[in-house]
Amino acid sequence: MAATHRSNPILYAAAYLTTGVVFGISLLFALDNDNPGQIAALGVVFGLFTLVLTLLMAVTMPVWLVRSLFVVECILVAMLFFAAPESSGFAPILLVMLAALAFFSFGSREQIVWGVIFLVEIFGLLALVIPLDEALLNGALYVGIIAFVWAVARSLQSEQQARAESQRLAAELERANAQLRESAWRTQELAVAQERTRLAREIHDSLGHHLTVLSVQLQAASRLFERDPARAAREIENARSIVAQALQDVRHSVSALREVTPPDLRDPDALARLVRDFGDATGIVTEFRADNFDAAGLSPAQAHTLYRVVQEGLTNAQKHAHASRIDVSVIQADGKLCARVVDNGCDALHRRNLGAATAAGFGLMGLRERVELLGGTLSAAPRAEGGFELRAEIPVEQRRD
């Protein structure tokens, strides 16, 4: 059963209003006739009709029971017709109202069946009190009314079904987008891992070459030390140059491999430790603030990206702007996670150095790609009151307290 009317308070109110008006008019006729028996009969019929109507409107039940209650309502309308003959012209209005409820309660085929049932009862009741030709004329009028009610009900049902389908598709699309972003992030991480593997091989090959040459140089110096000290000194000097070159190559390669995996951000204090340790190591005054931050609710991609945003902001403030104070805040609200790194460094110096780094393909460019893969945004710009701000906003699942 399609219980559309149960979620429609306007239809709910209209049904009770119609019932009250019809029975109120019938009661006025009964009072005018000063007929206590008729008044009592109206009270009983009205009470039963309202009770069954309430069950239809407010209680979930099997379809067969709903059909039975509609049949009971049809019988009660006929009883009203005989209990108050003077108000018989108003009884069909209740049947039109019941038809509207039936149209909202059943599928399209059963809607037609109930429409025919109500029309037959309307025609039968009218034929009892007015000539047949007038009953046919009035019946035709009610055919048009019920057809109009059916068309409105079908239109509203179609609209509600379309809205429900649209919401379902939107939810599926959002889930698909989330899976796509997670997949893209993992693909990027795989590419980074492959690049790190390549760099590791490069370190091994380069360092192995330098160490081999160094071993040869030192062996030669050892053999020549007593026989030709000057030549031995040159060999040692060459060895020192090789060591310096090897160290330079190692530092260059290792810089791309440093800190492959951030700490577990399910620990709420991970970011606070990062900021505090950075301040201790550099001597820069740092402060960290978190507001409504649900670290445990982040996905691995979100946790990793958040850590990189804060790490990049700290590094840039110290390296590019020579800041003396850095404020880091992480705020989670309205389905978004906002991370801000604000420093008091030199704006011009910051812009120049960051521009060079970005042009070279490092730092902010890669970070922006990470954030955008999660459906977020990244901005880096001077502040009107001085200093620089790195800001990232990442959509996260709304918290349910």
If asked whether residues 285 and 339 sit together in one domain, one would say yes
Percentage of the residues of the chain whose pLDDT score is greater than 70: 79
If asked whether residues 333 and 370 sit together in one domain, one would say yes
Cα 57 to Cα 71: distance, rounded to the nearest angstrom: 15
- 16-50 pLDDT, tens digit per residue, is 888 888 888 878 877 777 777 778 877 888 888 88
Percentage of the residues of the chain whose pLDDT score is greater than 90: 9
Q: Classify each residue of 64-78 as buried b or exposed e, where b means 16 or more C-beta atoms within 10 Å of its C-beta.
A: eebbebbebbbebbb
If asked whether residues 217 and 284 sit together in one domain, one would say no
The boundaries of the domain holding residue 274 are 270-395
| pLDDT score for 1 | 42
| pLDDT score for 325 | 92
Looking at per-residue pLDDT, the higher value among 221 and 287 belongs to 287
Q: Total structural domains in the chain?
A: 3
Looking at per-residue pLDDT, the higher value among 321 and 308 belongs to 308
If asked whether residues 293 and 346 sit together in one domain, one would say yes
Residue 156 domain flag: no
Residue 155 domain flag: no
Residue 49 domain flag: yes
The average pLDDT across 289-297 equals 88
- 125-184 pLDDT, tens digit per residue, is 777 777 888 778 877 888 888 888 888 878 877 887 888 888 888 888 888 888 888 888
Residue 208 pLDDT grade (very low, low, confident, very high; cuts 50, 70, 90): low
| pLDDT score for 371 | 92
Which residue bears the tokens 């960051």?
A: 354
- Assess whether pLDDT exceeds 80 at residue 314: yes
Looking at per-residue pLDDT, the higher value among 214 and 161 belongs to 161
- 351-398 pLDDT, tens digit per residue, is 555 544 443 334 678 788 889 989 999 999 888 888 899 999 999 876
Which residue bears the tokens 């978004």?
A: 336
If asked whether residues 12 and 113 sit together in one domain, one would say yes
| Structural contact between residues 375 and 394, judged by C-beta atoms closer than 8 angstroms | yes
The 3-state secondary structure of the chain, one letter per residue: CCCHHHHCHHHHHHHHHHHHHHHHHHHHHHHHHCCHHHHHHHHHHHHHHHHHHHHHHHCCCCHHHHHHHHHHHHHHHHHHHHHCHHHHHHHHHHHHHHHHHHHHHCCHHHHHHHHHHHHHHHHHHHHHHCCHHHHHHHHHHHHHHHHHHHHHHHHHHHHHHHHHHHHHHHHHHHHHHHHHHHHHHHHHHHHHHHHHHHHHHHHHHHHHHHHHHHHHHHHHHHHHCCCCHHHHHHHHHHHHHHHHHHHHHHHHHHCCCCCCCCCCCCCCCHHHHHHHHHHHHHCCEEEEEEECCCHHHCCHHHHHHHHHHHHHHHHHHHHHCCCCEEEEEEEEECCEEEEEEEECCCHHHHHHHHHHHHHCCCCHHHHHHHHHHCCCEEEEEECCCCCEEEEEEEECCCCCC
The whole model's pTM is what?
0.44
**Weakest mean pLDDT among 1-15, 90-104, 191-205, 219-233:** 1-15
Q: What is the mean pLDDT of the chain?
A: 78
Residue 166 domain flag: no
| pLDDT score for 286 | 93
**CATH number of the domain bearing residue 349:** 3.30.565.10
Residue 401 domain flag: no
If asked whether residues 284 and 203 sit together in one domain, one would say no
Amino acid present at 101: L
If asked whether residues 347 and 391 sit together in one domain, one would say yes
Looking at per-residue pLDDT, the higher value among 177 and 248 belongs to 177
